[in-house]
Chains A and B, each alone.
Chain A
C-alpha cells in the first residue's frame, strides 16, 4: 500500500485543471480528513469536509459546460426489501469516493465498494450485507428504512446498520473485521446517521425520538472496537439541564432528543457540533412541562470525552416536532469587520441561526422559509422565540399554533412538521460566502392524543411502542424551494420555488453551479448566483439523496443515488411511481 499521497495545493491545482493523476490507495488518516478539501478528486467525508460545506473546487463542470452533462454510468443497487412497517428500504446516503472507488450504502445497511476507474462501467468490488432482522428493526424506524452513509478510517470502511450496530470493514475485501452493538432496538433505538470519525473515534447516536428513547451520542474507539464514551442528550438527575424537565415524574427518561444526522467538527477548538432531535412525546408538551433540554437543540461537545461544552436550544418545550438534527455548518467569516467562527443552522422550525462556535452565543437569526406562523420572530439578543417565557412550564407560542389537551387540534401552522429543512444537507460556497439550502415549504396541522405513561412509570406503554402524543397531518399540499442564504444574517438572497418538497440536499461547486435532486427523479443544476436552472435530467425515479462530485484520472463526475423514500404525504402527481435503487453518474 502506498502510504504517501499528493496533498496540498499542488494536487488540487493539477486536478482542478483536469490533469491526469494516477489512482493511489492511501490509509485514511486524521490529517487527510482535516485537509479533505485538498483532495478535490475525492469525497472523503460525509459532508465533504468537517465543516459540512459540501462544496467542491472542481469546476470542469460549470455554468458554461453543464449543458453537455450526460449520464455515463448506471448501477442497480439493492435494499428494496420490505421489513417491519415498511414496504421497502430507502436510499438517502451520501456516497464516499476515494481514489476511484465509491463506498455507498443502502437503507438496510449494505455497503457497496464500487470501482469507477474505467469511467464507463461501475463495477461492484464487494458488498457487505449486515444481515439485519428487518422486521425487528423496521418496526421501530419512525420514518423509513434509512442509512445515510459510511466513513473511512485507516484501511477500513466504518458503517452502521438500522438495528444498532457499527462495523469496521476491510476496505480491500469487504470482510467485517469487527462489529459492535451500540443501539438497542428492544427499547426503540436505531442508528441511521453516517459515523463522524475524529482521530480514532467513530461518533454516532441513537434515533428513536418517536419511541420513547432517551437520546445519546456515542463514540467507538476504532482501535479496539469498544465504547470510548457515551453522552446522553437529556441530562440525568443532578446534571445541568435536568431541571428543565419539571414534571416530577422523570419524564426525561423517555424524552426523545435523538441523533440521526452526522455532526460537524472544528479542529482549532477541537469541538464537534451535534443537532439534537425533538422532545418526546412529540405533540403533547403538557406531558413534559419545562424547556426539555437538550431536545430541539445543538450541542457543542469534546470529541475526546463527549463532555458538553455548551448547548443552544432552538424551540424550548417543542410542541411541533421541530427536530433539529440537521447539519450545523461551521463558517469562518467576518462579522462587522471582525473575524468570527460561526456555527450555523437552517432549522426545521423555519429560522436560520448563526451562533458563536466557541461559546454558543446568539449572533443572528432570521426566517428563511416562505411562511412561518408559530412565532412572530426571534429575540435579537437571546435568539429565543419572541413568545418564549421562561416562567412558563408549557410554551403557547402563537395561540393555537400547536395542539393542547384543552384544544387537541391545532390551527394550520407553518412550516409543516417536516420543516423547514429536515435532514437533507445544504451546502456553503466560501467563494460566494453563501449557503444553499433546499426546503420543505407549506403548512400542516397537529392533533394531540394525550400520551399514556410508560410501563416503568406506572403506565401501560411498552418499549418499542410509538410515543408521540398524537400526530401531524397535511390538509394542503406542501412544496419546496432552493434558497441562497447569507450565513451570518440568515437573509435569503435568492429563492427558486420547487414543485416538490426537497429531500435531496445540495452540492455546491466552484463551477458556479449547485445541484439538487427532486422527488420526480429530476437532477437539476442551478446558477449559484441567480438560482436559475441551467441543466436538468430525469432519472425516472425519485431522488432523496445528496449529489456529490469527484474526479477520476482528471475527469470530473457528478453522482447521486436515486431510490424510493418513505413519503408522507406522497405528492398526487407521483402517486403511481415505483421504487428503484440506482447509482447514477454523469460527466461531460
Chain B
C-alpha cells in the first residue's frame, strides 16, 4: 500500500503539471466517468469517429460527408437531438430505435419522412448513452481549436503510432 502511495502521488502531480489549461480543474469523478463512457461510445459503439474522425474535425468518404464537430454551432440540446434523430436528407444516422415510430423526431414517422428518412445507426443507443456521448463531444471536441497531441493521446493512448504525426 505504501508503495502504491509513493507512486501515486508523483504521478498525480505530474498529471496536474502536464495537464492542458482546460483540464486544470479536474472534473468531478462522476463527470469524468461519464465523459470516458461517452468516449467509448464515440469511438466504438456508435463509431461517430468513422465519419467525423476521432478528433471531430469532420471527414468525407465511405462514411458520408460529415461536418466538423469542433466548429459546430449546435447547442447541447440540438446535438442530442441530432444523435437521437439523425439529420433528415443526410447520411447522419438516427440512434433512437423508436425515433420515427411515435413522431418524437421532428414530429414525423418513418412513412412521413419518406425519402428524407436518415439511415439507421449500426447500433442504437439508450438515452443514457446518447447523453454520455453528447457530454463527451461538448467536453472534449466542440469549440476546440487545432487538434493537439494531448487530445490524441487521450483518445488513442500512447501505445500506438497514431499520435506521432501530432507530436510537438
Give the B-binding residues of A (Cβ under 8 A). Answer: 82, 84-87, 133-136, 139, 142-143, 185-186, 210, 282, 447, 449, 462-466, 468-473, 475, 567-570, 572, 575
Whether A143 lies near B65 (C-beta < 8 A) is no
Whether A462 lies near B54 (C-beta < 8 A) is no
Contact A471 B64, CB 8 Å, known A139-B54, A575-B120: yes
- Bound Cα distance A152, B9 (Å): 55
Contact A210 B62, CB 8 Å, known A136-B161, A473-B91: yes
- Bound Cα distance A465, B54 (Å): 12
A493 CB to nearest B CB, Å = 34
Give the A-binding residues of B (Cβ under 8 A). Answer: 43-45, 47, 49-50, 54, 59-65, 91, 115, 119-120, 122, 156-157, 159-162, 164-165
In the complex, 26 of the A-B residue pairs with CB atoms within 8 angstroms, ordered by the A residue number, are A84-B162, A87-B45, A133-B161, A134-B160, A135-B156, A135-B157, A136-B162, A139-B162, A142-B61, A186-B165, A210-B61, A210-B62, A282-B61, A447-B65, A462-B165, A464-B165, A466-B61, A470-B65, A471-B65, A471-B91, A472-B62, A473-B64, A567-B122, A568-B63, A569-B119, A572-B120
Whether A82 lies near B44 (C-beta < 8 A) is yes
A274 CB to nearest B CB, Å = 23
Contacts of B162 in A (CB 8 A): 84, 133, 135-136, 139
B103 CB to nearest A CB, Å = 20
Contacts of B54 in A (CB 8 A): 139
Whether A471 lies near B60 (C-beta < 8 A) is yes
- Bound Cα distance A163, B162 (Å): 12
- Bound Cα distance A142, B157 (Å): 22
Q: Is the interface of A mostly helix, strand, loop or mixed?
A: loop
- Bound Cα distance A133, B157 (Å): 12
Question: Which 10 A-B pairs have CB atoms at the shortest separation, nearest pair first?
Answer: A466-B61, A135-B160, A468-B61, A135-B162, A136-B161, A85-B50, A471-B64, A135-B156, A136-B162, A471-B65
With CB as the reference atom, state the residue of chain A lying closest to B117. Answer: A475
A148 CB to nearest B CB, Å = 19
- Bound Cα distance A134, B161 (Å): 10
With CB as the reference atom, state the residue of chain B lying closest to A144. Answer: B62
- Bound Cα distance A85, B156 (Å): 11
- Bound Cα distance A480, B160 (Å): 39
Whether B61 lies near A136 (C-beta < 8 A) is no
- Bound Cα distance A473, B47 (Å): 18
B59 CB to nearest A CB, Å = 5
With CB as the reference atom, state the residue of chain A lying closest to B115. Answer: A475
Contacts of A475 in B (CB 8 A): 115
Other A-B pairs, 16, CB within 8 Å; known A135-B160, A210-B62: A85-B49, A85-B50, A87-B45, A87-B47, A133-B159, A135-B162, A136-B160, A136-B161, A136-B162, A143-B62, A447-B65, A466-B59, A470-B65, A471-B63, A473-B64, A473-B91
Contacts of A567 in B (CB 8 A): 122
With CB as the reference atom, state the residue of chain A lying closest to B91. Answer: A473
Contacts of B63 in A (CB 8 A): 471, 568
- Bound Cα distance A85, B50 (Å): 5
B141 CB to nearest A CB, Å = 16
B136 CB to nearest A CB, Å = 17
B77 CB to nearest A CB, Å = 27
With CB as the reference atom, state the residue of chain B lying closest to A210. Answer: B61
Contact A570 B60, CB 8 Å, known A135-B156, A470-B65: no
Contacts of A135 in B (CB 8 A): 156-157, 160, 162
Contacts of A449 in B (CB 8 A): 60, 65
Contacts of A468 in B (CB 8 A): 60-62
- Bound Cα distance A468, B66 (Å): 13
With CB as the reference atom, state the residue of chain B lying closest to A83. Answer: B160
Whether A568 lies near B62 (C-beta < 8 A) is yes
- Bound Cα distance A115, B47 (Å): 37
Contacts of B64 in A (CB 8 A): 447, 471, 473
B39 CB to nearest A CB, Å = 13
Counting chain A CB atoms within 10 Å of each CB, which of B47, B59, B160, B164 scores highest? B160
Contacts of B45 in A (CB 8 A): 87
- Bound Cα distance A575, B124 (Å): 10
A46 CB to nearest B CB, Å = 25
Whether A142 lies near B65 (C-beta < 8 A) is no
Whether A87 lies near B60 (C-beta < 8 A) is no
Counting chain A CB atoms within 10 Å of each CB, which of B45, B54, B60, B164 scores highest? B60
Whether B119 lies near A469 (C-beta < 8 A) is no
With CB as the reference atom, state the residue of chain A lying closest to B159. Answer: A133
- Bound Cα distance A462, B91 (Å): 25
Whether B60 lies near A133 (C-beta < 8 A) is no
A566 CB to nearest B CB, Å = 9
With CB as the reference atom, state the residue of chain A lying closest to B59. Answer: A466
Contacts of A473 in B (CB 8 A): 64, 91
Whether A85 lies near B60 (C-beta < 8 A) is no
A212 CB to nearest B CB, Å = 11
With CB as the reference atom, state the residue of chain B lying closest to A468. Answer: B61
Contact A142 B62, CB 8 Å, known A475-B115, A569-B119: yes
- Bound Cα distance A469, B159 (Å): 32
Contact A469 B60, CB 8 Å, known A82-B44, A85-B49, A464-B165: yes
B62 CB to nearest A CB, Å = 6
